[in-house]
Amino acid sequence: MEGMRPALVGLAGPDGMFNRSDLADVTRSLEPDLAGRVRQEIHRRAEQKINQGRFPGLRRGFVNMHVNRNYGTYFRKGMGQARGMVGDGMEEFFTGVGVDGQAVPAQYSNRNIRLADLDGFRAGAETLREIDKARNARVRVLFPRGFGVSDLDSILADPNRRPPNGVVRMK
């Protein structure tokens, strides 16, 4: 759960809370890392096609011509899929932790976050879901304004106490 703290600080918006209005900024801030991963995947698939059959030297020329001709299309499709995967993962976090409602979109602000930071965040989010399931089955803690560092600290200190920005609702 401690690995979640630096990522949560990077994900949180100017208000100190991480909510749905921060999703577009986070995705845009992750684009350099996503683009690098998409390029790696395009080249990996090209190498796979080259080594797939006989005459790899001859196939290399044809595969390289095909990739060069269609690189822009592959890159756009790959970036769309990567953005969708980030959005789906964040939406899963919001639903699992209980970030409730749709916040008003804020003006764009660049976030200091990388894909490597999200691994610790993902593991912490799983632990938060387990803590939520271990609570009384009829009660759920929701976060209408978003999930902040103070909420994380409160849950780490005492999982059974209501976090400062949390609201207790009956299921």
Mean pLDDT, residues 106-110: 70
Question: Is it the case that residue 127 has pLDDT exceeding 90?
Answer: no
Question: Is it the case that residue 94 has pLDDT exceeding 90?
Answer: no
Question: Is it the case that residue 81 has pLDDT exceeding 80?
Answer: yes
- By the 8 A CB rule, do 72 and 39 touch? no
Question: Is it the case that residue 106 has pLDDT exceeding 80?
Answer: no
Distance of alpha carbon 166 from alpha carbon 153, whole angstroms: 13
pLDDT exceeding 90 applies to what percent of the chain?
A: 27
Helices (H) and strands (E) in the chain, counts: 6, 4
Distance of alpha carbon 10 from alpha carbon 18, whole angstroms: 9
Q: Which residue has the higher pLDDT, 134 or 154?
A: 154
Q: For residue 12, give every residue at least 6 positions away whose Cβ sits within 8 Å of its Cβ, in sequence order, or none.
A: 18, 22, 146, 148, 149
Mean pLDDT, residues 103-122: 77
Which range has the worst mean pLDDT, 20-29, 89-98, 162-171?
Answer: 162-171
Find the length of the chain. Answer: 171
pTM: 0.80
Question: Is it the case that residue 3 has pLDDT exceeding 90?
Answer: no
